[in-house]
């Protein structure tokens, strides 16, 4: 770890709360059909719609709203859909205005790292929403660079590392998703630290932990200080 001089952090569910709010919004959406369909059926239909549209909408609240609208159209008739549309927009608007709640230990940890390491945000999602959350978080001054990515594949990290003029062995990624924050970075030759969050979107779930010397499993963000 002595070779690391650039540390990148995922934002959602690594620096601040996110999936909790999406889960609440999904449950509110399911409640719209409570008299007709069980929540599990509605959730599965919504997830199917999200996966079909991911290449078009990407990640974030706006794509989620469009998928809710499309799912509602499939699960309802024309008359009921008109009444549902307004409620779905309200769910989406509420999601876009959620407070930015920092996770425990984030500010203190960044404060200890900022003088010794180049700190970066590497997150995915809707550009305007992520910029809003970063501004409201009060964390922007900690970071040398902000990268809001359309996806987090190996090629995306390679591009980011080149942009930072950094070799992979000097790069550490910290995040809550093994699928998006850990595995692709390890494939570049970089380091990766996983901090689990109690909720994980189905699309981000990953069954196996990497067996790499460049991989670290942390209980919370403060534990990263033990490696430096």
Residue 227 has a pLDDT of 86
Residue 77 has a pLDDT of 79
Residue 1 has a pLDDT of 66
**Which of these three, 79, 96, 113, is where a domain ends?**
96
Q: Is 47 helix (H, G, I), strand (E, B) or coil?
A: helix
Give a yes or no: residue 117 inside a domain: yes
Residue 16 has a pLDDT of 97
User: Taken in order 12, 183, 195, 160, is the CA torsion positive or negative?
Assistant: negative
Do residue 136 and residue 150 come from a single domain?
A: yes
Where is 111: in which H helix or E strand? helix 106-113
Give a yes or no: residue 1 inside a domain: no
Give the number of other Cβ atoms within 10 Å of residue 207's Cβ.
6
Containing structural domain, residue 186: 6-16+101-227
Per-residue pLDDT of the chain (228 residues; tens, 9 = 90+): 678 999 999 999 999 999 999 999 999 999 999 988 999 999 999 999 999 999 999 899 999 999 999 999 999 876 687 889 999 999 999 999 999 999 999 999 999 999 999 999 999 988 999 999 999 999 999 999 999 998 999 999 999 999 999 999 999 999 999 999 999 999 999 999 999 988 776 767 666 778 789 999 999 999 999 988
As a whole number of Å, the end-to-end CA separation of the chain is: 7
Give 117-143 as a DSSP string.
SEEEEEEES-HHHHHHHHHHHT-GGG-
- Report which of 74, 68, 13 is spatially closest to residue 43, judged by C-alpha positions: 68
Do residue 105 and residue 11 come from a single domain?
A: yes
Give a yes or no: residue 67 inside a domain: yes
| Residue 190 contacts residue 169 (beta carbons within 8 Å) | yes
Where is 197: in which H helix or E strand? none
Give a yes or no: residue 77 inside a domain: yes
Give the number of other Cβ atoms within 10 Å of residue 113's Cβ.
17
Give a yes or no: residue 79 inside a domain: yes
Q: What share of the chain is helix, strand, coil (3-state, %, to 5)?
A: 55, 15, 35
Residue 200 has a pLDDT of 76
Residue 88: give its domain's CATH number.
1.10.150.240
Question: Going along 45-175, which residue ranges are E strands?
Answer: 118-124, 145-149, 171-175
């Amino acid at each position: 770890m002595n070779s690391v001089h650039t540390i990148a952090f995922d934002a959602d569910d690594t620096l601040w709360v996110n999936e909790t709010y999406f889960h609440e919004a999904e449950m509110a959406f399911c409640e719209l059909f409570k008299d007709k369909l069980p929540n599990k059926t509605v959730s599965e239909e919504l997830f199917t719609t999200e996966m079909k549209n991911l290449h078009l909408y990407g990640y974030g609240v706006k794509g989620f709203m469009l998928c809710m609208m499309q799912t509602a159209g499939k699960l309802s008739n024309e008359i009921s859909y008109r009444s549902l549309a307004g409620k779905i927009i309200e769910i989406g608007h509420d999601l876009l205005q959620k407070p930015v709640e920092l996770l425990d230990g984030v500010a203190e940890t960044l404060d200890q790292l900022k003088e010794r390491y180049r700190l970066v945000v590497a997150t995915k999602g809707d550009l305007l929403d992520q910029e809003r959350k970063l501004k409201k978080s009060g964390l922007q001054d900690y970071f040398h660079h902000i990268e809001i990515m359309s996806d987090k594949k190996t090629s995306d990290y390679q591009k980011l590392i080149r942009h930072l003029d950094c070799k992979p062995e000097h790069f550490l990624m910290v995040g809550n998703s093994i699928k998006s924050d850990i595995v692709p970075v390890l494939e570049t030759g970089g380091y990766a630290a996983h901090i689990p969050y109690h909720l994980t979107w189905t699309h981000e779930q990953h069954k196996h932990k990497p067996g790499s010397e460049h991989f670290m499993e942390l209980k919370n963000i403060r534990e990263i200080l033990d490696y430096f």
